[in-house]
Amino acid sequence: MGALEDPKRFSSYLNRTFSSIVPTIISDIARAKDPIERRIEGPLESLFSRLPILRQNLAPQIDVLGQEIQRGGNFMETMLDPTRPQGIKSAPVVDELKRLWDLGYRVTPTQLGDKKGFKTLTQEQNTKL
């Protein structure tokens, strides 16, 4: 009932329900074979993210530094470990941001636009931006 009253919750509910027609084992295989995390913004993309070949056509998730987010773990970890562990990110920019933060400079990178980017741009243009 809460999903019907709140449009944001309804969208999330619809995504989960629509994609649930694909068995979890197929979804796990699709995710394990894809080294990149993918953006899911609607019911159709939610379904595609669970299918091995169609998943590759989805836009990658991008972190605030503009890098594609890699899937954590290897194939077997993705298939067998339900906790889905992620490694700690380390890169020169991340290390410098941490160093500045430790010195008292409250610097943080931010994404452009909202979670989905700018509405006037296509998904591909938002990813490139």
Over the stretch 51-82, which tens digit does the pLDDT of each residue have?
Answer: 988 999 998 988 877 788 888 777 777 667 77
Residue 55 near residue 19 (C-beta atoms within 8 A): no
Between 27 and 1, the more confident residue is 27
pLDDT of residue 30: 87
What is the tally of structural domains in the chain? 1
Contact (Cβ atoms closer than 8 angstroms) between residue 43 and residue 19: yes
DSSP assignments along 51-81, one per residue: SHHHHTTSPBPB-TTSPBPBPPS-HHHHHH-
Closest by Cα among 74, 66, 62, 85 to 34: 74
The token pair that represents 81 in the structure block: 């470990």
Domain of residue 98, residue span: 2-128
**Would the pLDDT of 3 be above 60?**
no
